[in-house]
Amino acid sequence: MKLELPDLPYAANALEPHMSAETLGFHHGKHHNTYVVKGNELLADAGVDADNLEDLVRASAKVGGPLFNNVAQVYNHNFFWKSMKPAGGGAPSGAIADKINADFGSYDDFKKEFTAGGVGQFGSGWVWLVLDGGKLKIAKTPNAETPLTTSAKPILVCDVWEHAYYLDYQNRRPDFLAAFLENLVNWDFANQNLA
């Protein structure tokens, strides 16, 4: 299997003013693309193959090191782009809204926990909404780590590596997480993953 850089599911300026075209261009075109290129270089000699990206992440986790880091980062970024949409954010609707209320108590309580997870992730990493043991939970992972290597099912994610927000928010990670939840999160994608 060969890694590929997917097209963004929206125009580069479609998330403005909450995420600039400049940030998206660097993040997708440079950072994400580097993981694709390096991952393919490493896969050429690794003897690791799979039928889909999720299985490739799991197989590369057994090898670890740079191979896993690059393959997992391709998956994490693919998932991140889908976790956002133009004119997204705000309170969810549908099954995900009911499940958030059941498992967190309220959408406001979910927001607090998700934001705390993202702010509390030391250094580079990710904050996830996952389904684990039939219950929605917040998970944070460092570097390239992903819930795919655990029993949890990813529902949505926010990238909290500095390159995801520094051009727009400088060191204000809490402001970026607030913008993600209030204006960018794609609850339709979350509902698809929950189904």
Quote the CA–CA distance of 82 and 61 in Å, as a whole number.
23
**129 beta partners:** 138, 156
For the chain, residues classed under CATH 3.55.40.20 are 95-194
CB atoms within 10 A of CB 64: 9
CA 31 to each of CA 34, 69, 121, 141: distance values in angstroms, whole numbers, following the listed order: 5, 13, 20, 18
pTM assigned to the model: 0.95
**Six-digit token string for 91:** 């309170």
Q: In the chain, which ranges are continuous DSSP H helix? A: 21-26, 33-46, 53-63, 65-82, 95-104, 107-120, 166-169, 173-179, 187-194
The pLDDT assigned to 145 comes to 97
May I ask the CATH class of domain 95-194? alpha beta
The pLDDT assigned to 2 comes to 93
Q: What tens-digit pLDDT sequence spans the chain (195 residues)?
A: 899 999 999 999 999 999 999 999 999 999 999 999 999 999 999 989 899 999 999 999 999 999 999 999 999 999 999 999 999 999 999 999 999 999 999 999 999 999 999 999 999 999 999 999 999 999 999 999 999 999 999 999 999 999 889 989 999 999 999 999 999 999 999 999 999
The pLDDT assigned to 167 comes to 86
For the chain, residues classed under CATH 1.10.287.990 are 21-83
The pLDDT assigned to 49 comes to 86
Taking phi first (over 0 means left), then psi (-120 to 50 degrees means alpha), and beta for anything else, what does residue 95 get? alpha
Domain 21-83 homologous superfamily, CATH: Fe,Mn superoxide dismutase (SOD) domain (1.10.287.990)
Q: Phi first, then psi: what are they for 92, rounded to 5°? A: -75, 170
